[in-house]
Homo-oligomer: A and B are copies of this chain.
């Protein structure tokens, strides 16, 4: 049996399609009594209501913002940084009665298709890898879109922080405390079926910031041990374990993200060493767990970032493609102190 549509009902009641449409979408345009009858018949016929796809086609507005995330969708609910960002975005979207479409693809090859088929009014790309095929597809859609965090693409509205300057601030803090033997734990994006680990642009910026500080202090960057590691607590743990085995042992370990720093804290504890007594540890992002762990870190306004992106997208004033840099802040907690013997 064919689907029940406006037409079916119009015929059953003996009115025009227009009138039935009005009964649902513009109640003030018809006699209340007639409207009642139409709704009644619709109910009897098990009508599911005006088809949203057809409506959107005609109206040209979806009331939805598409959200693209790195690799796995479940990441949206795993990484505390992503969670905070999305919370901020959700607040703004909700107030505008706009839903969030969290987009998912099983592999890079499908990303394009998913982007092409999304029924949305705009997109936000959150911490996508530079050069991801989805970004190219995004351009093709010619809808408003904002890149959050990374990568910075010329001409595309961007919301983030000055990672490089922030990283320099953090590293300078350690140098001022007197540390001279530094080590860095650097997050990598492990790509499937690729044996080279990929560094994201934000991470690259942070690394550059650490370097800036080291050079400014008149030290050599070559003396700083940089260890790549997967972006996870466990990655930080094993990476830090190796750094702690160096001789002479570094007096401070700076991670490119809090998640990794938390793993490093664990590694230190497992060695029977203490933080900051034997070694100072610093992270980046200030996720909630960082506070509990007493981690010195750079705080960036995660939820506020999400809110800013939401406003940008909803106000449609992004024609001028601004690059918005949010404020950051050095948060010093108990995981850093002057080096032992200083």
Chain A contact residues, CB within 8 Å of chain B: 46, 48-57, 62-64, 72-74, 76-78, 83-84, 86-88, 90-91, 93-106, 110, 113-114, 116-119, 140-143
Closest Cβ of chain B to A307, distance in Å, is: 10
The answer to whether A105 and B94 touch across the interface, beta carbons within 8 angstroms, is: yes
By a CB distance below 8 angstroms, the chain B residues around A62 are 53, 119
Closest Cβ of chain B to A7, distance in Å, is: 15
Please, could you name 11 A-B residue pairs with CB atoms under 8 Å apart, sorted by A?
A48-B142, A52-B118, A53-B53, A63-B114, A63-B117, A73-B91, A74-B94, A95-B106, A97-B105, A97-B114, A101-B102
By a CB distance below 8 angstroms, the chain B residues around A52 are 116-119
The answer to whether B119 and A48 touch across the interface, beta carbons within 8 angstroms, is: no
Q: How far is the CA of A97 from the CA of B141 in the complex (A)?
A: 19
The answer to whether B46 and A142 touch across the interface, beta carbons within 8 angstroms, is: yes
Q: How far is the CA of A165 from the CA of B73 in the complex (A)?
A: 34
Residue of B nearest to A46 (CB): B142
The answer to whether B57 and A53 touch across the interface, beta carbons within 8 angstroms, is: yes
Closest Cβ of chain B to A122, distance in Å, is: 13
Q: How far is the CA of A56 from the CA of B78 in the complex (A)?
A: 31
A-B contacts besides A64-B101, A72-B94, 6 pairs, CB < 8 Å: A48-B142, A51-B57, A54-B57, A55-B117, A97-B114, A101-B102
By a CB distance below 8 angstroms, the chain B residues around A142 are 46, 48
Closest Cβ of chain B to A257, distance in Å, is: 19
By a CB distance below 8 angstroms, the chain B residues around A74 are 87-88, 90-91, 94
The answer to whether B76 and A90 touch across the interface, beta carbons within 8 angstroms, is: yes
Q: How far is the CA of A90 from the CA of B91 in the complex (A)?
A: 21
The answer to whether B102 and A102 touch across the interface, beta carbons within 8 angstroms, is: yes
Closest Cβ of chain B to A236, distance in Å, is: 18
| With known contacts A77-B84, A100-B104, A48–B117 Cβ distance under 8 A | no
